[in-house]
Amino acid sequence: MGTYKLVALDMDGTLLNDLQEVSETNRRWIQKAMEAGVIVCFSTGRGFRSALPYAEQLGLMNVPMITVNGSEIWSRPHVLHRRTLVDPETIKRMHRLALQHPEVWYWAYSTDAVYNKETWIQPADRYADHHWLKFGYYTEDDKAREAILKEVSSWGNLEITNSSPWNLEMNPLGITKASALRELCTMLKIDMSETVAVGDSLNDIAAIREAGLGVAMGNAQDEVKRAANAVTFTNQEHGVAEVLRKYVLKAKGAL
């Protein structure tokens, strides 16, 4: 076990409990890690605006942040380091595909807002007026989801993951939480072997595989657990606190 300098935390299903709250136990161990000189940062599929209140709550206002599955990398909150966009024509194509499946919920992140099935851009054909970051589909109909996955995969220009077993998330090809974590390591002069990545869904797998230590939550999808070096407690059982205690602070001799 090495000494880890950076811990990249997924939010939903990982740091946050099922009420979308940070438990007091998780908060306390994040504080201990930061006091020991460890950089703790978010690595989330959420957009910046929805991650920011948690960064403020936890005092993570001077550390980097990975949002929208790696499409945005922030040197610190409000200071953008890099942004990678999805081509407007591809968003148009994904929207048209969504309309072929009336039972499917869909949404898209742009740099200015989150649009969805009920609040799509107006006029609906002005794709080029927006800077797009990510597109998502949600359905509990396995056949519809598999049909969409097969179609979008055939295009060959998108990174396809999920943040729950019932959705699909599309980012530009090559853009993942792992590509963003590598970029952070370059910025901070940290080796990837000195990082820990923690998550529960397919959008966490690349980072879990490439980090020095990849940890799956107890509630993670099975594929994520298979990719990880270790499995911790669930998000309801303060699994992040356990990672920080067992693998990060113990290794630093900070306990």
Name the token pair of 137. 């589909």
Please tell me the distance from the alpha carbon of residue 106 to that of residue 34, in angstroms, as a whole number. Answer: 37
Question: Nearest-CA neighbor of 10 among 49, 79, 68, 56?
Answer: 68
Please tell me the distance from the alpha carbon of residue 226 to that of residue 49, in angstroms, as a whole number. Answer: 32
Dmax (CA) for the chain in angstroms is 58
130 HSE (CA, 13 A, CB side): 26
Helix, strand, coil percentages for the chain (3-state, nearest 5) = 40, 25, 35
Token match 């969504």: residue?
98
Catalytic residues: 10
Burial classification of residue 237, based on how many CB atoms lie within 10 Å of its CB (0-12 exposed, 13-18 middle, 19 or more buried): middle
Question: Nearest-CA neighbor of 198 among 222, 169, 233?
Answer: 233
Question: Nearest-CA neighbor of 29 among 184, 186, 183, 250?
Answer: 250
Question: Nearest-CA neighbor of 229 among 15, 2, 31, 64?
Answer: 2
